[in-house]
Amino acid sequence: MTDSWTTPERDALRETAAKFTAAEIVPTLAQWEDAGQVPRELHRKAAALGLLGVGFDEAVGGSGGDLVDLATTKEAMVRAGASSGLLAALFTHGIACPHIVTAGDADLIDTYVRPTLAGERIGALAVTEPDGGSDVAAVRTRARADGDELVIDGAKTFITSGVRADFVTTAVRTGGAGHDGISLVVVDTDRPGLTVSGPLRKLGWHCSDTAELAFDGVRVPRANIVGAPGHGFALLMRHFVTERLSLAVHAYSVAQRSLDLAAAYAAERVTFGRPLATRQLIRHRLVDMHRRVAVARTYTRSVVERAVDGQDVAADAVLAKKTAVEACDFVVDAAVQIFGGAGYLRESEIERHYRDARILGIGGGATEVLDELAARLLGYAPEKLSATLSAPGRIVADNSGGDAT
Ligand SMILES: Cc1cc2nc3c(=O)[nH]c(=O)nc-3n(C[C@H](O)[C@H](O)[C@H](O)COP(=O)(O)OP(=O)(O)OC[C@H]3O[C@@H](n4cnc5c(N)ncnc54)[C@H](O)[C@@H]3O)c2cc1C
């Protein structure tokens, strides 16, 4: 049966992504893990095949396609042996550029988006600060106007691809407190006063360089503000939805790959004179892993399809991420267990997936914070529940228990 994920065009895209991964990534991924970053050349090669531009319109230098195409590409890459960290490093433009495209400033698109999709430049997104990442509306990095320039002071941390980045789409405070005072501004990393520290040493995502950025009187043209001043928060929220879906795709794809690896190992590994897969306990564990991957993929794909359809999926994106992260956490853990000691060794692929998976419930919004967002979006906020429950004939809510946030 053909569905929107298995059209001839998407099958061809899947094949291109898988071949690229087998030829250009798998042989050297372990070296990049040790080096702490992927080479720029990989961006150029991926761009030459049109893979970097998937999901971006041709009008801005992309290859066209939508979120289904992007998910198809990432699914295929992980299934062929890429990792979540590799995707984070190679596709950082997926969080650095969309705001610029949405805002539609032709100069910013020409200067930053086109060369990035061509593999010539690397971009990053800097929102999180040392004081905290969950409370985005509390951004402290400040940008004050000085003639035609902005002068930026502050700090960012945990910035993916920040070590290699040529530019950083940065959340700054241009106005007063709260989300209305936040703008996005594109900062070239060679600007005087900008210090990049890293790569930060991490549990996983070793091939994805992560940086701290210190801004000390960094001057950028006011023209580098993305969209209108004060619209940064709205732009961020809009594209967080896509980022969360993308991380859900990482999660179920890594889970699928881990299941494939564990099933193959169970078929060949002999204990007590018989292959592991002949044991009912192991087979049932594989079935449980399969079930969780299937649920996560089916749900996430349905949300992706509705996003492409133009529907508001802000709440479902959060739920899909959590569903896929839980599936992934379970599956990578079970897979390492099936591998036994071999799964604990640095040279085993499953060990990398196990470590890489841990960030997926933290990045792009940590699970607890996203649960609270979902509660508001789905109408479970205390004031709404209170109104519902105190309606005539209903039980009156007891709000004395306080708020978990
Ligand atoms: C490898 C890596 C890559 C990253 N890449 C980027 C990037 O490219 N750009 C970028 O801007 N950021 C990036 N981040 C940052 C990431 O988005 C943040 O780590 C994340 O948003 C959480 O923020 P925090 O670490 O400051 O945790 P905190 O906000 O300090 O939260 C700590 C914990 O407390 C929980 N918590 C917080 N508030 C509440 C509450 N009200 N109720 C209950 N629980 C709560 C959180 O869920 C979390 O579990 C990256 C992080 C890592 C580790």
Write out pLDDT tens, residues 228-242: 999 999 999 999 999
Does the C-beta of 295 come closer than 6 Å to ligand 1? no
CA neighbor of 140 nearest in space, from 108, 93, 182, 79 = 182
DSSP assigned state of 130: T
372 Cα–ligand 1 center, Å: 14
The ligand 1 atom nearest the CA atom of 132: 26
User: Using CA atoms, how far apart are residues 143 and 229, in angstroms rounded to an integer?
Assistant: 11
Report the atom number in ligand 1 closest to the C-alpha of 200. Answer: 1
pLDDT tens-digit map of 209-222:
999 999 999 999 99
Burial category of 83 from C-beta neighbours within 10 Å (exposed 0-12, middle 13-18, buried 19 and up): buried
Which residue's entry shows tokens 């035609």?
A: 148
Q: Which residues of 101-123 are buried (b: 16+ CB within 10 A; e: fewer)?
A: bebebeebbebbbbbbbbbebbb
Quick one: tokens of 265?
């190992």
Q: Token pair of 341, please?
A: 């000691």
Q: What is the pLDDT of residue 391?
A: 57
351: which 2 tokens?
């060990």
pLDDT at 377 over 90: yes
Q: Tell me which H or E stretch contains 154.
A: strand 149-160
Give me the residue label for tokens 């004050």.
144
Taking residue 342's Cβ as centre, other Cβ atoms within 10 Å add up to 14
Q: Which range among 35-39, 216-220, 393-397 shows the weakest confidence by mean pLDDT? A: 393-397
126 Cβ inside 6 Å of ligand 1: yes
CA of 132 relative to ligand 1 center, distance in Å: 7
- DSSP letters spanning 156-168: EEEEETTTT-SEE
- Spatial CA neighbour of 213 closest among 235, 237, 236, 197: 197
Per residue in 155-165, pLDDT (tens digit) is 999 999 999 99
Which residues touch 3 (CB under 8 Å, ≥6 apart)? none
Q: Is 363 in the pocket of ligand 1 (CB under 6 A)?
A: yes
Question: How high is the pLDDT of residue 381?
Answer: 83
pLDDT above 70 as % of the chain: 95
Mean pLDDT, range 371-394, rounded to an integer: 79
Question: Is the CB of 405 within 6 Å of ligand 1?
Answer: yes
109 contacts: CB under 8 Å, gap ≥ 6: 60, 61, 100, 101
21 lines ligand 1 (CB under 6 A): no
Q: What is the spatial distance between Cα 283 and Cα 276, in angstroms, rounded to a whole number?
A: 8
Average confidence (pLDDT) over 20-39: 98
Contact criterion met (CB below 8 Å) for 71 and 139: no
The pLDDT confidence band at residue 385, using thresholds 50, 70 and 90, is confident
Is residue 135 scored above 60 in pLDDT? yes
Q: Does the pLDDT value for residue 42 go beyond 90? A: yes
Predicted pLDDT at 390 = 63
The CB of 170 under 6 Å from ligand 1? The reply is no
Does ligand 1 lie within 6 Å of residue 201's CB atom? Answer: no
Q: Which of 158, 160, 325, 358 to mutate to test the pocket of ligand 1 (most atoms within 8 A of CB)?
A: 158
Ligand 1: which residue has its CA nearest to atom 35? 368
E-strand ranges in 189-275 read 194-197, 210-221, 225-226, 270-271, 274-275
277-326 tens-digit pLDDT: 999 999 999 999 999 999 999 999 999 999 999 999 999 999 999 999 99
In the numeric block, the tokens 């407190």 are attached to 177
Q: For residue 38, give the 3-state DSSP assignment.
A: coil
Q: How far is the CA of 402 from the centre of ligand 1 (A)?
A: 24
pLDDT category at 67 given cuts 50, 70, 90 is very high
Ligand 1 atom with minimal separation from the 171 CA: 11
State how far the Cα of 181 lies from the Cα of 233, in Å rounded to an integer.
8
* 10-46 burial code (b ≥16 CB/10 A, e <16): beebbebbbebbeebbeeebeebbeebbbeeebbebb
pLDDT of residue 158: 98
Whether 83 has a pLDDT exceeding 80, the answer reads yes
- What number is the average pLDDT over the span 114-122? 98
Neighbours of 325 (CB within 10 A): 25
The response to whether residue 359 sits with its C-beta less than 6 Å from ligand 1 reads: yes
CB-CB contact of 26 with 83 (8 Å)? no
Whether 151 and 122 have beta carbons less than 8 Å apart is answered as: no
CA distance 347 to 324: 26
Quote the CA–CA distance of 217 and 71 in Å, as a whole number.
39
Residue range 16-40: average pLDDT? 98
Check residue 397 and give its pLDDT. 40
Does the beta carbon of 368 lie inside 6 Å of ligand 1?
yes
> What spacing in Å lies between the alpha carbon of 155 and ligand 1's midpoint?
15
Of 33, 212, 243, 326, the active-site residue reads 243
| C-beta separation of 204 from 245 below 8 A | no
Q: Which two tokens stand for residue 388?
A: 């519902």
Active site residue 349: no
> Which tokens hold the place of 238?
């809009």
CA–CA separation, 196 and 190 (whole Å):
10
Residue 380, φ and ψ in degrees, nearest 5: -100, 15
Q: Is 226 in the pocket of ligand 1 (CB under 6 A)?
A: no
Mean pLDDT, the chain, whole residue set: 95
Distance 129 CA to ligand 1 centre (A): 9
Q: Which residue's CA is the nearest one to ligand 1's atom 31?
A: 134
Alpha carbon nearest to ligand 1 atom 4, residue: 158
What confidence score (pLDDT) does residue 402 get?
A: 35
Which atom of ligand 1 sits closest to the CA of residue 370? 47
**Residue with CA at minimum distance from ligand 1 atom 48:** 366
Q: Which residues, in sequence order, are CB contacts of 374 under 8 Å at separation 6+?
A: 315, 318, 319, 380
Query: Would the CB of 125 count as within 6 Å of ligand 1?
Result: yes
Q: Which two tokens stand for residue 118?
A: 């061509």
Gap from CA of 382 to ligand 1 centroid (Å): 24
Average pLDDT (160-172) is: 98
